């Protein structure tokens, strides 16, 4: 683009790669050294004590509310703006947690033009790997490193949801073949995981939709593309949609389990009913001809023929007639149906 004098108007240049120190549980003097030299630094605090937080608060001149929030976990996702920094509460998940356990991992962040601080009470393989990478390689910019940290926390949802998808497939096959009470317990455990994830994903998605640009506009941040932070919103939408889809699949698996169990119980009841029905006339005939009356014993049951015709013949005939009738009705034989059929 040319200006009024025929020259070329200056354009914003993206800064080159920069080395950013990535410090894990550092001492206060290490952080001060980098701040005094005007070097952007990432401070990763894992299970910090009150003294560690007090040192960071003193170095960065944090508001007392920020210090209180940094010490308090089990919060909701949020972004709070201050004059020279923002405070963020993020959530990821632990891929190594068993289904139904405490899967959420809360991470607090303090972001300014001079420093980014992450505060967590649990180990995080994603943050450890990111810190190790930038120990060896330069970062594109301060903004990009901050985006990478947030993205690393959010991306932990993906492997867990992939595992949930595989578990749902296994459950469907197991429920169709042989439903067990353990399968129902697994379904409920997976549902608890999805409910926990959905509880934090919705506010995180809204948070980055409305206030992602606040991070990029912090004073002192190196110039870079704001779209990195907006990309976090798109990723959260995708993850939230996966959670909703798997919740629907688990609801369908629950219905499949209940219908399969009900069909199997119906099959058992049908078989027991057939057996009871077959024995009903047998019980009647044996009871009738077993009466100890003189007429029966003297005139009807006094020959060998009466034994075979009335005693054995009526029993066999009743079984044959009932078996034929049950087969015609489709209750036994090839036409009998039971169990559940897996939908296409």
CA 146, 147, 151, 153: dihedral to nearest 10 degrees? 20
Q: Tokens at residue 28, please? A: 């206060």
Average pLDDT over residues 285-290: 71
| Domain limits, the chain | 22-258, 290-329
Yes or no: is domain 22-258 CATH 3.40.50.1460? no
- Per the model's pLDDT, the better-predicted residue between 244 and 271 turns out to be 244
pTM over 0.75: no
| Mean pLDDT (the chain, rounded) | 82
Task: Kindly report the number of other CB atoms within 10 A of residue 245's CB atom.
Answer: 13
Q: What would the pLDDT profile of 33-90 be if each residue is shown by its tens digit?
A: 988 888 899 999 999 998 999 999 999 999 999 999 999 998 999 999 998 899 999 9
CB contact at 8 A, 56 and 26: no
Q: What is the pLDDT of residue 193?
A: 92
CB contact at 8 A, 88 and 78: yes
Q: What is the pLDDT of residue 341?
A: 41
10-14, 113-117, 192-196, 204-208: which range is least confident on average? 10-14
Task: Kindly report the number of other CB atoms within 10 A of residue 207's CB atom.
Answer: 20
Q: What is the pLDDT of residue 100?
A: 80
Average pLDDT over residues 102-124: 92
Q: What is the pLDDT of residue 222?
A: 59
Q: What is the pLDDT of residue 125?
A: 92
């Amino acid at each position: 683009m040319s200006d009024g004098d025929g020259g070329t108007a200056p354009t914003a240049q993206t800064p080159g790669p920069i080395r950013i120190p990535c410090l894990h549980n550092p001492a206060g003097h290490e952080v001060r050294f980098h701040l005094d030299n005007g070097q952007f630094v990432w401070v990763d605090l894992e299970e910090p004590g009150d003294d560690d937080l007090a040192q960071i608060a003193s170095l960065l001149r944090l508001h007392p509310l920020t210090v209180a929030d940094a010490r308090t976990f089990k919060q909701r996702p949020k972004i709070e703006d201050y004059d020279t920094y923002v405070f963020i509460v993020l959530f990821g998940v632990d891929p190594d947690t068993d289904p139904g356990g405490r899967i959420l991992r809360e991470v607090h962040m303090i972001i300014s033009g001079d420093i980014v601080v992450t505060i967590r009470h649990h180990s995080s393989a994603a943050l450890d790997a990111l810190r190790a990478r930038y120990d060896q390689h330069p970062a594109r910019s301060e903004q990009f490193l901050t985006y990478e940290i947030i993205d690393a926390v959010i991306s932990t949802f993906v492997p867990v949801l992939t595992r949930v998808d595989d578990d749902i497939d296994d459950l469907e096959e197991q429920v169709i073949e042989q439903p067990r009470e353990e399968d129902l317990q697994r379904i409920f455990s997976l549902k608890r995981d999805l409910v926990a994830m959905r509880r934090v994903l919705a506010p995180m998605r809204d948070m980055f939709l409305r206030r992602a640009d606040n991070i990029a506009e912090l004073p002192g941040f190196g110039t870079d593309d704001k779209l990195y932070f907006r990309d976090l919103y798109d990723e959260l939408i995708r993850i939230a949609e996966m959670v909703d889809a798997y919740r629907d699949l688990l609801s369908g698996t629950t219905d499949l389990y209940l219908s399969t169990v009900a069909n199997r119980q119906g099959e058992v009841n049908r078989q027991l009913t057939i057996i009871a029905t077959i024995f009903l006339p047998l019980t009647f005939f044996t009871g009738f001809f077993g009466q100890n009356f003189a007429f029966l014993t003297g005139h009807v049951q006094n020959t060998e023929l009466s034994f075979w015709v009335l005693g054995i013949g009526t029993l066999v005939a009743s079984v044959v007639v009932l078996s034929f009738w049950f087969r015609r009705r489709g209750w036994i034989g090839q036409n009998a149906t039971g169990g559940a059929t897996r939908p296409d």
